[in-house]
Amino acid sequence: MMKHEKDLDPPRVFSKRLLASLAATICLTGAGYIWHQNPEQFKWNLDYFEASQGVNYDSVCLETKPIAPSNVESLNKVLHDPEYKKEAIKKLSGALKIPTEIQDTNPSPSEDLDYYSEFFKFHKYLEEQYPLVHKHLKRELVNEVGLVYTWKGSKPELKPIMFTAHQDVVPVNKNTWKSWTYPPFSGHYDEETDLIWGRGAIDCKNLLLGELASIELLLSEGYTPERSVVLSFGFDEESSGLLGANYLSKFLQERYGDDGIYALVDEGGAISAISENTYVATPVTAEKGYVDLHFSVHGHGGHSSVPPDHTTIGIASDLISLLEDNPYDYTFTEENPVYGYLTCKAKFDDTIPEPIKKAIIEAPSSKAKRNQLFEWLDQLKPLRELFRTSQAVDIISGGLKANALPEVTTFLVNHRIDVTSSVEATINKDLQHVKDIASKYDLGITVDGQVLSPATSNGYIEITSEKALEPAPNSPTKNSTVWDLFTGTIQDVFTNHIFAGQDIDFYVTTSMSSGNTDTKYYWPLTKNIYRFFPVVFDPEVMKIVHSVNEHVSADSHLQVIAFFYEYILNVNEYAANEA
């Protein structure tokens, strides 16, 4: 049952196109992905909403001023030169042929260096394909496999700009290989469709090579930045980043100190259509928190022929039902970056009925409108989870034999924590339900080794937390020259180059991820963290991230190169006096 500020129960009506569009444009990752959803058809009774008196859009989803460097001649080369495109395709295709797969659990390089042999082939490949980068930039290995490149600027007193990506890709299930149109590590380029196929095409060798290619091009033109550029490439983002970005962040923090980086760009949100002629870029400026909670119901064994009223499995099931029947409350704050995206949808998407648009725009000042917004969001999976802490019962274990009572039953609940909440608040909320069950069955309670109430003759419930991570700090966007320069570059590259001559309106707004990228380790380095793929993505493409037939268009790869090329120039031209 949905919970918010007021109980609501209207019938629903909703367009399939809108649901797909919403889900497709908000990003989530454990590695920066655009969501795609196959929604059900909903019905919505618009009489539930107040009659619309018109919606004031004057303060939401405003145009961003484009910012361009003095010389943008090479952008035409990147975006329109057939020979440059051919070489870029060849380089990405070759990178996709190297299976830098990473598992959930991986040995430390100090324990088993051979385990990372494909990564060393990848390093050699990068050296061959980007000779100027490897001639002019300092390359360092961190924890044997992580890569740091430093392009030293002429003004070392300025904070460096930092770009990140990860070398690793998720494994390809051997049983699915025959389902791929082209083999997953073939790097096949289909000239007819302009698509490059292979694991990592989107996530995220496309990004990694795009960052290197932009610097290679600048070096070929004899360019030297005033502000240093740092590239940091982890190698286990798809598992946890514990061996890669964790070590890289400490290495870089020791070198540059707290808040020693001007801004950081990593994988994240992208660009997509929100109406027929309107596109929006959605850089991710925050991430939800994370915690896994393990619940163990400890009881007594015995013969199954003389069972108690409730076994530990039964008690655990009762607790699971209680948790699932009481989801976390929705919360609203204008500081939630997803709200920026919602206002753009309200302003430009004609498939949203006017009363719902009014509820979105007026939610900050009206409790009633917030309740209507929550009721609307409750129909939108997975968008709704960005406005509350999510919970998912993912693993359960109990019992060994048909004629033996289960002494212990355990289950795991995965939480992605709302930006307004915390790890502590998440544990406390679940603990209240545990207390209810413990009282019902006369059991003790232990939380992370602390005894809250002693075990009884019936047993006790134990809670242990794991992988706790607070929600990421919001990157500054208001009154931030760093944000203005970043978004101004996006605006210029896409409005004045990629969409040039087309009848398209283009906007930049904020978004958020329910997953976590490698940036969770980089928080001390800078508050200006932007998780963004400078790419126009079709929602259909994102169905195959981490799945069969991952591919990316060649033009998308060129867009990545063009953005980083211009962003480096803009940062050096317009932020030259900012420490």
Residues labelled as active-site residues: 168, 237
Report how far residue 203's alpha carbon sits from residue 31's, in angstroms, rounded to the nearest whole number. 7
Report how far residue 521's alpha carbon sits from residue 32's, in angstroms, rounded to the nearest whole number. 15
Structure tokens at 403: 């004629």
- Asked whether 415 and 391 are in contact (CB, 8 A), the reply is yes
Say whether 12 sits in a helix, a strand or coil. strand
Say whether 219 sits in a helix, a strand or coil. helix
Report how far residue 312's alpha carbon sits from residue 409's, in angstroms, rounded to the nearest whole number. 6
Report how far residue 361's alpha carbon sits from residue 370's, in angstroms, rounded to the nearest whole number. 10
- Asked whether 520 and 470 are in contact (CB, 8 A), the reply is no
Q: Length of the chain in residues, anyone?
A: 579
Residue in 487, 437, 497 with CA at minimum distance from that of residue 463: 437
Residue 97 DSSP label? T
E-strand ranges in 189-247 read: 189-190, 195-197, 229-234
Residue 156 DSSP label? T
Neighbours of 71 (CB within 10 A): 11
- Asked whether 61 and 344 are in contact (CB, 8 A), the reply is yes
Q: Rounded to the nearest 10 degrees, what angle do helices 554-574 and 82-96 cross at?
A: 110
**Alpha helix segments (H runs only) across 363-480:** 367-377, 423-441
Structure tokens at 531: 């998780």
CA diameter of the chain: 84
Neighbours of 165 (CB within 10 A): 28
